[in-house]
Amino acid sequence: MSRPLAVVCLAAGLGKRTKVSIPKVLLPLCGRTLLGCSLDATDALRPQHTIVVVHHQKELVEKEVSSRKGIVCVDQGKPMGTGHAVKMAMQALSDFDGDVLVTYGDCPLITTETLQMLRESMEDSVCAVLTTFQDDPTGLGRILRDEDDNFVGIREHRDCTEEESLIDEVNTGFYCFDSSALRRALLKLKPDNAQGEYYLTDVIAQFADQDLNPVTFTLEDGYETIGVNSLVELGIARARMQERILMRHLSNGVMITDPATTHIDHDVEIGPETKILPFTVIGSGCKVGRGCEVGPFAHLRAGTVLEDGAEIGNFVEAKKTRVGAGSKAKHLTYLGDAVIGKNANIGAGTITANYDGARKHETKIGDGCFVGSGTVIVAPSQLGARSMTGAGAIVKRDSVIGDEEVWVGIPAKLLKRRDPSTIKKESR
């Protein structure tokens, strides 16, 4: 669209019903925060301005968005309703002329596509209202229409007549406004209600009373507009978001054996023909190549990279580790801060002891290396190409095992060199 876009994201709520100390909008969801998910949806629209309205623990919320370009945080002060929040945000958009999209920091499932269609539906109107249908609309504002199905207003639940309470089309709270019309309407808002608050729905009522013809865009999937107000609702949102993530990977040729027991965060790359076995957890920031196998009961943490054909098996955890093409760690192993070459075999029960109590250190394992079962490698240490450790070996800190050397014992010491003629071309 040719008109400029500004986004106003409301993120000032207390979140008392979550019963946790962190701001509600910073609750985690599949590797991001609720607010992060909401802003990702609007960032894709490339707005000219994004205003995040904050108040409760605003320093934490401001820190969360500090790495994003073009975001301005506005302190609402004492929260006095959605109309008041948007009015405060518009002070930071005093010279802006275009469309203003109002979203929420606790609605993580909204998609870019829906917001774009909401905006496009406005056409020549001053406002578009996103609506949806709910089996149980209790507590939600009902959408009122005339005999010709034209939108005429929003009735809050407590004000509904018995007949209106049966309406299942509801207001989601997402809007797109013409900036000039919004400014004029906000000036006329009054807190004429029991709560003494300024309601954004009263802006819609003004437009309807003035025959400015606000329009609606109806969303069939009501889950997109779910707001998270409790940890129960967070669990519901997580399940829905996880389904989206898994379906995307499945559509890209990733063979996920049992999606019901697989957890994959946002920002994970997985190549086609890779098998993800049950009870696998893959955290944000991991990259898995083509034709790999992960699981069952495996955990890949941030910074882990599996090159093509690598295999991570039962009860193996990897953190900030690169596993080379064709290399395998199949059983009961911890790989932390390690760089593993191609076609290496990491035996059952191997541990890279990467933490000395103050700092993390790196372990380097060369191409074709054979690490015996139960080996502990105290970092920093280096195992050369086609080297080998015996079962139960303890490789001391700062050890350098040369190419094709065999080290055994506690502490591990050089036993002999491997005969190159007996080493398989691709060690397994």
pLDDT digits (tens, 9 = 90+) for 222-263: 899 999 999 999 999 999 999 999 999 999 999 999 999 999
pLDDT at 1: 61
Percent of the chain residues topping a pLDDT of 90: 83
Question: How many angstroms from the chain centroid is the CA of residue 273?
Answer: 24
Distance from C-alpha of 63 to C-alpha of 255, rounded to nearest angstrom? 38
- For 62-71, which contacts have Cβ atoms below 8 Å and span 24 or more sequence positions? 64/25, 64/26, 64/33, 64/35, 64/36, 65/35, 65/39, 68/39, 68/43, 71/39
- DSSP letter (8 states) at residue 251: H
For the segment(s) 5-225, the CATH number from 3.90.550.10, 3.40.1170.10, 3.10.105.10, 1.10.3720.10 is 3.90.550.10
C-alpha distances (whole Å) from 304 to each of 261, 266, 268, 285, 339 are 21, 14, 10, 7, 10
For 363, the 3-state DSSP assignment is strand
pLDDT at 37: 97
pLDDT at 427: 45
pLDDT at 426: 43
**Separation of first and last alpha carbons in the chain:** 57
Catalytic pick among 157, 263, 331, 361 = 331
- List the structure tokens of 13: 């709520």
Determine contact, residues 256/298, Cβ cutoff 8 Å: no
C-alpha distances (whole Å) from 49 to each of 36, 76, 93, 129, 173 are 16, 17, 8, 21, 20
In this structure, whether the domain defined by 253-422 belongs to CATH 3.40.50.720 is answered with no
Distance from C-alpha of 338 to C-alpha of 366, rounded to nearest angstrom? 11
Fold match between domain 5-225 and domain 253-422:
no
pLDDT at 58: 94
Determine contact, residues 323/305, Cβ cutoff 8 Å: yes
Residue with tokens 């040369």: 402
The burial class, CB within 10 Å (0-12 / 13-18 / 19+), for 141 is buried
pLDDT at 424: 67
pLDDT at 388: 97
Is 331 noted as a catalytic residue in this protein?
yes
Determine contact, residues 288/268, Cβ cutoff 8 Å: yes
* Residues of the chain under the 50 pLDDT cut: 426-428
Distance from C-alpha of 329 to C-alpha of 396, rounded to nearest angstrom? 21
**Domain locations along the chain:** 5-225, 253-422
pLDDT at 238: 97
Distance from C-alpha of 286 to C-alpha of 120, rounded to nearest angstrom? 36
pLDDT digits (tens, 9 = 90+) for 74-99: 999 988 999 999 999 999 999 999 99
> Considering the entire predicted model, what is its pTM?
0.91
pLDDT digits (tens, 9 = 90+) for 155-181: 888 888 888 888 999 999 999 999 999
CA nearest neighbour of 319 among 341, 298, 296, 290: 298
